[in-house]
């Protein structure tokens, strides 16, 4: 079990005033961000890059992953004003790339997919140029729930496998590796124009071969972008860190991911699912604009 934090993990403390401003705005609209609740070390950097992650459907999860600090229990009443509040706050914060995630709601008939649909639609209606990335639960691999989210046309659909296949039952007991891969495949089957993304945490006891195998499995499932970061223990009640992975090793995985042909790879100790998300969306938008221009040029020729 890893003891002292290595030098490269000196925690970046977000500027209190920045958190305060955002917190006031969020509380005023009964909204939650993962950035705040996870006290994410990247908060200041992401906010300064005009990205943030909203957590919809309350902050009580019906599952209990061993790495996650979110409260576990009965899901909260779904707030019907939440979609418009997220869109309005996105506008107020001047965000260019917004990530919408949620706790898992195994208690809801639609697993919460309807609230994702309404939230994406509200943002797109109010802010057509804002990139919407969703980071969804596995919806128990229900195709109709995944379709509900895809029908709102998020630009990026993210679903994390979180760790390697062998460690799933320890790290996320109510989830399955194969099911998560299947969710990402179904998105591409339903709408190939949606970019898919997934992420894993390292330092939970996985081997390098297992990490490479996970990247191969994600590539085989048609995933476009991946994030690879260091697991940090939120409290003593959560899984211990087995190893602090050296930044050089993260660099190696980045290179392996690039060689495998992923459109985007973010790999580093501080990398999180939505970390530097705008770098991928800027790449996405540029590719899309280039494609539209070439199609436009082709049509006028
Ligand atoms: S399903 Fe998501 S929100 Fe729920 S405990 Fe697991 S990681 Fe946390």
In short, whether 104's Cβ falls inside 6 Å of ligand 1 is yes
For ligand 1, the distance from its centroid to the CA atom of residue 66, given in whole angstroms, is 9
Q: Which of 37, 63, 140, 159 to mutate to test the pocket of ligand 1 (most atoms within 8 A of CB)?
A: 63
**SS3 state at 263:** coil
In short, whether 68's Cβ falls inside 6 Å of ligand 1 is yes
The atom of ligand 1 lying closest to the CA of 103 is: 3
For 33-81, the pLDDT digits (tens) are 776 666 666 676 776 766 778 999 998 999 999 999 899 999 999 999 9
In short, whether 65's Cβ falls inside 6 Å of ligand 1 is yes
Domain ranges, residue 131: 7-296
Alpha-carbon span 58 to 61, nearest angstrom = 8
Alpha carbon distances (Å) from 250 to 78, 194, 268: 39, 27, 5
Query: Is residue 42 in some structural domain?
Result: yes
Mean pLDDT of 2-24: 68
The H-or-E segment that residue 51 falls in is strand 51-56
Evaluate if residue 12 carries a pLDDT over 70.
no
Alpha carbon distances (Å) from 69 to 226, 233, 275: 22, 9, 18
Query: Is residue 120 in some structural domain?
Result: yes
Q: Whole-model pTM?
A: 0.91
The atom of ligand 1 lying closest to the CA of 67 is: 7
In the structure, what pLDDT confidence band is assigned to residue 15 with cuts at 50, 70 and 90?
A: low
Alpha-carbon span 4 to 232, nearest angstrom = 12
Query: Is residue 1 in some structural domain?
Result: no
**With pLDDT > 70 as the criterion, what percentage of the chain qualifies?**
86
Evaluate if residue 211 carries a pLDDT over 80.
yes
Q: What are the two backbone dihedrals, phi and then psi, of residue 54, each rounded to the nearest 5 degrees?
A: -90, 140
pLDDT on residue 285: 67
Which tokens belong to 17? 């005033």
For 214-226, the pLDDT digits (tens) are 999 999 999 999 9
Query: Is residue 278 in some structural domain?
Result: yes
Query: Is residue 301 in some structural domain?
Result: no
Q: What is the CATH number of the domain that holds 146?
A: 3.20.20.70
Strand 156-158 and strand 195-202: the pairing is parallel
Q: Which of 103, 183, 229 to mutate to test the pocket of ligand 1 (most atoms within 8 A of CB)?
A: 103
In short, whether 161's Cβ falls inside 6 Å of ligand 1 is no
Which tokens belong to 252? 């190696």
Query: Is residue 104 in some structural domain?
Result: yes
Query: Is residue 139 in some structural domain?
Result: yes
Provide the number of structural domains found in the chain: 1
In short, whether 131's Cβ falls inside 6 Å of ligand 1 is no
Ramachandran assignment for 203, one of left (phi > 0), alpha (psi -120 to 50 degrees), beta (any other) = left
Alpha-carbon span 50 to 201, nearest angstrom = 24
Query: Is residue 194 in some structural domain?
Result: yes
Q: Which residue has the tokens 């679903």?
A: 159
pLDDT on residue 188: 98
């Amino acid at each position: 079990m890893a003891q002292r934090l290595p030098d490269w993990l000196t925690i970046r403390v977000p500027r209190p005033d920045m958190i305060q401003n955002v917190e006031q705005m969020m509380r005023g609209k009964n909204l939650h961000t993962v950035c705040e609740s996870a006290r994410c070390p990247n908060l200041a950097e992401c906010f300064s890059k005009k990205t943030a992650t909203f957590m919809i459907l309350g902050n009580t999860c019906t599952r209990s992953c061993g790495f996650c600090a979110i409260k576990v229990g009965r899901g909260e009443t779904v707030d019907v004003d939440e979609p418009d509040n997220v869109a309005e706050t996105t506008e107020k914060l001047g965000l260019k790339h917004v990530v919408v995630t949620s706790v898992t709601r195994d208690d809801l008939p639609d697993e919460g997919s309807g609230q994702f649909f309404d939230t994406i639609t509200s943002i797109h209606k109010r802010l057509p140029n804002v990139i919407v990335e969703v980071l969804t639960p596995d919806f128990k691999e229900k195709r109709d729930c995944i379709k509900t989210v895809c029908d709102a046309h998020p630009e990026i659909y993210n679903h994390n496998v979180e760790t390697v296949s062998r460690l799933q039952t320890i790290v996320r007991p109510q989830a399955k590796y194969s099911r998560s891969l299947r969710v990402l495949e179904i998105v591409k089957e339903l709408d190939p124009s949606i970019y898919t993304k997934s992420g894993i945490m390292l330092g939970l006891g996985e081997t390098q071969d297992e990490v490479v195998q996970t990247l191969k499995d994600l590539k085989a499932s048609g995933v476009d972008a991946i994030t690879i970061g260091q697991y940090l223990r939120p409290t003593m009640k959560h899984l211990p860190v087995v190893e602090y992975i050296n930044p050089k090793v993260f660099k190696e995985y980045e290179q392996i991911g690039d060689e495998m042909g992923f459109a985007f790879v973010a790999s580093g100790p501080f990398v999180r699912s939505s970390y530097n998300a705008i770098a991928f969306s800027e790449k996405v938008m540029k590719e899309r604009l280039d494609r539209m221009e070439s199609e436009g040029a082709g049509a006028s020729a």
